[in-house]
Amino acid sequence: MTTEDFNRVSRRTILGASAAICAAPAATAAVPASAAKKPGAQGLLPVTLKVNGKHLHLDLDPRTTLLDALREHLRLTGTKKGCDHGQCGACTVIVEGRRINSCLTLAVMHDGESVTTIEGLGTPEKLHPMQKAFVVHDGYQCGYCTPGQICSAVAMLDEIAAGLPSHVTADLDKVRFSDAEVRERMSGNICRCAAYSNIVAAIRDVAEQDA
Amino acid sequence: MAECDPALRIAAKPSNAHDSARLHVSGAAGYVDDGAEPIDMLHLAFGQSEEAHARIAHMDLSAVRAAQGVVAVFTAADIPGANDVSPVAKDDRLLADGEVMCVGQALFLVVATSQRAARQAARLARISYEPRAACLTIAEARASSSFIEPTQRMARGDARAALSAAAHRVSGGFDIGGQDHFYLEGQIAIATPGEDGQVHILSSTQHPSEIQHLVAAMLNLSSADVTVEVRRMGGAFGGKETQAALFAAAAALAAHLTGRPTKFRCDRDDDMIITGKRHDFRIDYDVGFDDQGHILGLQLRLASRCGATVDLSPAINDRAMFHVDNCYWLPDIEIVSERLKTHTVSNTAFRGFGGPQGMLAIERIMDEVAAFLGRDPLDVRISNLYGPGRNVTPYDMVVADNIAPEIIARLRREGRYDERAASIEAFNAGSAILKKAIALTPVKFGISFTTTHLNQAGALVHVYADGSIQINHGGTEMGQGLYIKVAQVVADVFAVPVSQVRITATRTDKVPNTSATAASSGADLNGMAAHNAAMTIRDRLTAFLAQTFACAESEVAFAADGVVAGKEKLSFADLARRAHMGRISLSATGYYATPGIAYDRSTHKGRPFYYFAYGAALAEVAVDILTGEHRVLAVDIVHDVGRSLNPAIDLGQIEGAFIQGQGWLTTEELMFDAKGRLLTHSPATYKIPTASDRPRHFRISLWQDENLEPTIHRSKAVGEPPFSLANCVFSAIGRAIAAISPEKRSLPPLNAPATPENILRAVRGYRD
């Protein structure tokens, strides 16, 4: 919780500062996003991320979100940009075992951390059990929210297993899998096609396999 | 009539997974934004109007041009040809030319080295406006007589006389809100200049051909110079039928003028501000009826906010009129439809295309009649259904396939409507604050574009010499499963597994002059066109086999274990190779035009629809009358899909449409301020249904009797019809509020969406 609050404050502060710089075009302190692509450009920070098991080094504009680092710099485009506001969940990835809206956090804040994206869970040829369950239960329509749903679901089951309660948990000492828990915990992942029944069924399927 | 070959065995279909299933779940399905970007790619953003209605006195773009990363800034003066991105009326400007008509309208186009640079630079413009009077609401536009087209009238009999003669008469009205599409993948296009002035556009669009034509006119090119491609969309729901053109045209203009590839990836907030939405409506009615609740006379006024330009509003409002009858016989009726021009974003297609608003109007009237008579609303609905001798719509089309009574009866029985209604009444008697209610509403949705000439489609099928098959058609894939449905149709023709069929991206250079993938028509039209193409090839193969093996054509059969010709049997791959050696063409186009439809818009009479799709839904809700919150407790649905092409995909469409409809009627509220600025421009302030909003009990049954009309395998369209099943939620919420004063013989003044605020207003209004 505190980490998330910190993320939000940080991002807004930084964006606010950059907007102020832009309002005065004569200022030279502005670091354009494109600078990240130019070797030797000023203002870049070195970052090391362990993405899907591989250690990767990047020099990034510190304002670069984790989402943009994945999509624009590492070409891992399975993670989607839906709203870029942390409201739709399409950009969900797993960082250090916890699901996170990658659009709401800066890549430089995760230096040295381990990131799992949809590509790291499985491939079309070798699907993760959650990916397989989404296929079996038709847990998507347009597919755009699907990578986020699946990353979210995988980490969400771990949260239940770890005994973390949710808003609908009746007994805080007994956190158990239920459809109600899934619906509550997955409510940060919008599916505009509303394949929710099938998404919940897929997650239940995996939870029962694990049980 | 190319129905389907009776020899084809097309019995129970396996519900093949979506064609991109394995790619979707592994992040390997490519959307427009996912491809690698060329090193010289440029990114785009619009400068947007801050005024709802104004003359642009002066645009100082010097700071924009000077901003870091900016390569070029274009205005209307830079457009070589037509400054037009409209579907019909030629009134949507790519870039404003002297005047702005709504907040967010594109004024100029910034071309920069990154999206961020383009967006930041766009804010540096200094625009001087001379504001003009703006109409923002339906009421303001009506007061100013501001219309996008003349008010339309659809009538039968003498509604006024029937109203006077009726035993009972009630008048009333309510507001219906709009809806943002919120396709998860926002508007996006990539344009790449080609040789000799050509341009290729990758666009997230439901209507590649329209973009092709608009871009050609904009750049003074021919249609043959412009290619538009779309493999898949991350959702569309009507929001990419006309609205995608703005972004695609901007990308094409910048590519044309800079000679470099360009990408326009619209920011989400900008997207919600710039693009049109579902029309909001004001409904007013005067209804006359007898003691049993039979409606005898109805005068209905439908007024919609069309926004600043025409877009598709005439057809959308026509469809609202077409659906006012829903499943009911309305003998003497007058529908007046006002299409109001306002200085807000131009409203556009959205799943149902006006139909849902028309149906909600008549369902409200049914509830009003039931409340007045103190009868069960379902009984009033049933007594008004179409039936023998009373089966003609207000636009003079005969309802030949009326299965609504049977569907309603089945749902009433299986959903235990009467038993639950009784127990809810007992619950409410003992509960002062929580009130429950149940409602069952039917749906009848007309299938076809009401603009008759749009009901055509083309397809292209190739059989390669190794026996693999490639298909292409004019329909676009937005998650609705069109590609896999059409692939299955083609696979069946050759009796090969669907995995042998490669589905390819929709492209204007493969199948030309296509209609939008809209009006739920995708599978009906493209499935039949692809079937016809495949049959052409199969007929050639049959003749070749008969000749080669000296048998009769009737002795040739395509089966799952091989192709039989007389006494010979060979694999499909072997056949393909032999046919190629035998110089048989293995490629064919197919075409389909919906038969039997004709409509005269000047009189609003005719047969605009090929057939109807039906359904019914039952919702149980609980409302907290102190907080205005509600919950949808249980939903049961029976929905008609004809003989389904893919039951699993159809179930998904029904569930998704219902929840989207539920969102429209409950949580999704668009708010504009007094200056015409949209306040709800992100999912932070605009509440889209989530997994926790799905009713806990949610049961869907398919009604799988074959279509009366010879559609592809006698299936029925399924994209839009189930959206209006959610009307039962709105009806139930109104009934739950009414339970605070069971003795009253009227309806609470509830407007849609039934947000907590609107529910509390209705509670207060009902008490007073």
- Residue A126 exposed, middle or buried by CB count within 10 Å (0-12, 13-18, 19+): exposed
Give yes or no for B696 touching A (CB within 8 A). Answer: yes
pLDDT digit string (tens) for B664-719?
Answer: 999 999 999 999 999 999 999 999 999 999 999 999 999 999 999 999 999 999 99
Nearest to B325 by CA among B270, B410, B391: B391
Q: Above 60 in pLDDT, residue B44? A: yes
Give the residue on A whose Cα is nearest the Cα of B719: A193
pLDDT for position B53: 98
pLDDT digit string (tens) for B56-90?
Answer: 999 999 999 999 999 999 999 999 999 999 999 99
Q: Above 70 in pLDDT, residue A15? A: no
Q: Which 3 state secondary structure label does DSSP give A60?
A: strand
User: What is this structure's pTM?
Assistant: 0.94
Task: Give the model's confidence band at B221: pLDDT under 50 very low, under 70 low, under 90 confident, else very high.
Answer: very high
Q: Which of B15, B16, B19, B25 is best to mutate for the A interface (most A CBs within 10 A)?
A: B25
Q: Domains (ranges, CATH) in chain A?
A: 41-120 (3.10.20.30), 122-210 (1.10.150.120)
B630 DSSP β-pair partners: B623
Q: Domains (ranges, CATH) in chain B?
A: 41-132+187-265 (3.90.1170.50), 281-450+600-767 (3.30.365.10), 456-593 (3.30.365.10)
Task: Give the model's confidence band at A210: pLDDT under 50 very low, under 70 low, under 90 confident, else very high.
Answer: confident
pLDDT for position A28: 36
B307 DSSP β-pair partners: B341
The DSSP code for A141 is S
Task: Give the model's confidence band at B576: pLDDT under 50 very low, under 70 low, under 90 confident, else very high.
Answer: very high
pLDDT digit string (tens) for B478-529?
Answer: 999 999 999 999 999 999 999 999 999 999 999 999 999 999 999 999 999 9
Q: Which of A91-95, A147-151, B632-636, B692-696 has the lowest mean pLDDT?
A: B692-696
Closest partner residue to A33 (CB to CB) among B22, B116, B653 is B116
Q: Above 50 in pLDDT, residue B99? A: yes
Q: Treating both helix axes as pointing N-terminal to C-terminal, what angle do B404-414 and B417-429 enclose, rounded to 10 degrees?
A: 50
Task: Give the model's confidence band at B748: pLDDT under 50 very low, under 70 low, under 90 confident, else very high.
Answer: very high
Closest partner residue to A192 (CB to CB) among B182, B480, B693 is B182
Radius of gyration over every alpha carbon of chain A, rounded to an integer in angstroms = 19
Q: Above 90 in pLDDT, residue A11? A: no
Six token digits for residue A85: 């506001």
Give the residue on A whose Cα is nearest the Cα of B27: A78
pLDDT digit string (tens) for A150-209?
Answer: 999 999 999 999 999 999 999 999 999 999 999 999 999 999 999 999 999 999 999 999
pLDDT for position B562: 96
3-state helix vs strand vs coil in chain A, percent to 5: 45, 15, 45
Q: Above 60 in pLDDT, residue B142? A: yes
Nearest to B394 by CA among B583, B200, B155: B155
Residue A177 has phi, psi (to 5 degrees) of -65, 135
Q: How far apart are CA B414 and CA B634, in angstroms?
A: 13
CA distances from B590 to B185, B336, B462, B496, B515 (A): 31, 41, 11, 19, 15
Measured between beta carbons, the chain A residues lying within 8 angstroms of B696 are 179-180
Measured between beta carbons, the chain B residues lying within 8 angstroms of A24 are none
Measured between beta carbons, the chain B residues lying within 8 angstroms of A188 are 690
Q: Above 70 in pLDDT, residue A17? A: no
Task: Give the model's confidence band at A30: pLDDT under 50 very low, under 70 low, under 90 confident, else very high.
Answer: very low
Measured between beta carbons, the chain A residues lying within 8 angstroms of B68 are 25, 30, 32
Instruction: Give buried/exposed letters for A47-71 (b at 16+ CB in 10 A, else e).
Output: bebebbeeeeebbbbebbbbbbbbb
Task: Give the model's confidence band at A29: pLDDT under 50 very low, under 70 low, under 90 confident, else very high.
Answer: very low
| Residues of B that are catalytic | 720
Six token digits for residue B516: 């939008």
Measured between beta carbons, the chain B residues lying within 8 angstroms of A122 are 25-26
Residue B352 exposure: Cα atoms within 13 Å on the Cβ side: 34
Task: Give the model's confidence band at B588: pLDDT under 50 very low, under 70 low, under 90 confident, else very high.
Answer: very high
Q: How far apart are CA B439 and CA B728, in angstroms?
A: 5
Determine the average pLDDT of the residues in B328-348.
98
Q: Give the list of residues 6+ apart from residue A37 with CB closer than 8 angstroms, or none.
A: none
Task: Give the model's confidence band at B14: pLDDT under 50 very low, under 70 low, under 90 confident, else very high.
Answer: low
Q: Do B682 and A87 touch (CB under 8 A)?
A: yes
The DSSP code for B439 is E
Closest partner residue to B691 (CB to CB) among A19, A122, A186 is A186
Nearest to B443 by CA among B350, B348, B358: B358
Taking the CB of residue B492, how many other CB atoms lie within 10 A of it? 21
Average pLDDT, whole number, for chain B? 96
B110 DSSP β-pair partners: B45, B73
Q: Which of A14-18, B373-377, B442-446 has the lowest mean pLDDT?
A: A14-18
Q: Evaluate whether B618 touches B438 at the Cβ level (below 8 Å).
A: yes
Task: Give the model's confidence band at A41: pLDDT under 50 very low, under 70 low, under 90 confident, else very high.
Answer: low
Q: Which of A7-21, B26-40, B238-252 has the lowest mean pLDDT?
A: A7-21
Q: Give the list of residues 6+ apart from residue B127 with CB closer than 8 angstroms, or none.
A: B47, B49, B50, B56, B58, B59, B60, B107
pLDDT for position A211: 74
Residue B88 has phi, psi (to 5 degrees) of -135, -50
pLDDT for position A32: 43
Q: Above 90 in pLDDT, residue A40? A: no
Q: Do B184 and A187 touch (CB under 8 A)?
A: no
Q: Evaluate whether A82 touches A90 at the Cβ level (below 8 Å).
A: yes
Number of CB pairs < 8 Å for A and B? Answer: 212
